[in-house]
Amino acid sequence: MLTSIWKRMCVVLLVVGALSASACDLILLVLTVSNDSPVDVCELYVSSSASSSWGSNELYSGAVLSTGETFDILMVSGTYDLKFVDCMGTEGTIMGVDLYDDTSVSYQY
- Residue pair 31/46 in contact (Cβ under 8 Å)? The answer is yes
pLDDT tens, residue by residue, 26-69? 667 899 999 999 999 999 999 999 999 998 999 988 899 999 99
- Residue pair 32/39 in contact (Cβ under 8 Å)? The answer is no
* DSSP for 72-87, written as a single string: EEEEESEEEEEEEEET
Statement: the pTM of the whole predicted model exceeds 0.75? yes
Q: What is the predicted pLDDT for the residue at 29?
A: 87
